[in-house]
A = this chain, B = another copy of it.
Amino acid sequence: MTHRIAIIAGDGIGTEVMPEGIRALEATAKRFNIDLEFTHFEFGSCDYYLEHGKMLPDDWFEQLKGFDALFYGAVGWPDKVPDHISLWGSLLQFRRRFDQYINLRPCKLMPGIKSPLAGREPGDIDFYVVRENTEGEYSSVGGKMFEGTDREVVIQDTVMTRTGVDRVLKYAFELAQTRPRKKLTSATKSNGISITMPYWDERVVEMAKGYPEIAVDKFHIDILTANFVLHPDWFDVVVGSNLFGDILSDLGPACTGTIGIAPSANINPEGNFPSLFEPVHGSAPDIAGKGIANPIGQIWSGAMMLEHLGYKEAGDAIVTAIEEVLSEGDATVLTRDVGGEGTTASLGKAIADHI
């Protein structure tokens, strides 16, 4: 069976780490005898926008919907196109139109990586952030009144639906069930955000009734971010709204020292549309073009993609290869952000060799 993968490298370091992501996938496909077919797309980048006046062609949905997965680099280059235009014109469209309502991000302290938190060792931090990925604070509903005057008012809605909230909670509860600690933490702010967030809390209570074996707790997002720093060992599966999940899934990897290497999966669990796999890091215009970007986020996202396609063992093999290369700590191989003097290619190649 051939798995058709759409490749969108995007902007900046997205275009640099993508070849290493593919290199690792090809090595894994060979070893595990998996048939992957890659198709490259130019759209979904700011350069495409500058040429065409839009981030995507009109028929992007038709072009992409038949693929088995989308493998994505990073999008955004604020000096060329404002972020809210480039992101809403690409990544956020994919998430929404392909109903990738789960954004899944592991936060794991890896061997050889120094946590910025004092005294934390590999094994101490190992949790998942499950983020709602289609609604909530990212609504684009709203507008301005009295524009350009002193009376100017700007309004944007947060929109939560029962469907949207329940399905992400269900996914999170089921993920918690597969984990040894069986613990779920809900991110809320029902003491301040007095309509949507109490609703979120209610749905958590309701959903929890179906999962009596899961230990559930909740924290307001302010103290929750504090607890990520103070007690990262408390967490197992953390579920949050689109915005809260976004924040926690950058902060979590930061606490493991791996903001530049964390992976993510935008999942449509029903599989009626393709899921999308991308590193957590952005396009990083400041280091783009230098060949020094760390490709691990892209490669690890490839591992999540293989697991999603049904090849758990193959995905694990990639993660193991990453761990091995990080443990070896060869400075000629590792990129600067993890203490080496190597390049995107040297690190990518070392991982592919280990696979």
Contact = CB atoms under 8 A, between A and B. Distances in A.
Given A153-B161, A222-B251, A251-B229, A142 B83 contact: no
A195 B156 contact: yes
Interface in A129-170: 137-138, 140, 142-144, 149-163
A92 B150 contact: no
Contacts of A163: 150-151
A255 interface: yes
Contact of A191 (B84, B118, B221): B84
A156 B196 contact: yes
Contact of A159 (B116, B155, B192): B155
Contacts of A159: 153-155
A226 interface: yes
A142 B195 contact: yes
A260 B253 CA distance: 25
Contacts of A192: 84, 87, 92, 137-138, 242-243, 246
A229 B246 contact: no
A166 to B, nearest CB: 9
A86 to B, nearest CB: 8
A175 interface: no
A65 B140 CA distance: 39
A261 interface: no
A159 B88 CA distance: 21
Size category of the binding interface on chain A: 35 or more
A255 B243 contact: no
A140 B161 CA distance: 18
A285 interface: no
Dominant secondary structure of chain A at its interface with chain B: mixed
A115 interface: yes
A189 B243 contact: yes
A69 interface: no
Contact of A225 (B117, B194, B250): B250
A120 to B, nearest CB: 8
A76 interface: yes
Name the residue among A115, A137, A193 with the largest chain B CB count within 10 angstroms.
A193
Given A84-B194, A117-B117, A250-B226, A156 B158 contact: yes
A225 B251 contact: yes
A229 B248 CA distance: 13
A278 to B, nearest CB: 14
Contacts of A190: 82-84
A226 B251 contact: yes
A294 B86 CA distance: 48
A142 to B, nearest CB: 4
Interface string A66-100: 00000000001000001110111000100000000
A259 interface: yes
A193 B162 contact: no
B199 A154 contact: yes
Contacts of A191: 76, 83-84, 86-87
Sorted nearest first, the 6 A-B pairs with minimum C-beta distance are A226-B254, A83-B191, A222-B250, A152-B162, A156-B195, A118-B118
12 contacts: A88-B194, A117-B117, A138-B194, A140-B194, A140-B195, A149-B162, A154-B159, A155-B157, A156-B157, A192-B246, A226-B251, A229-B251
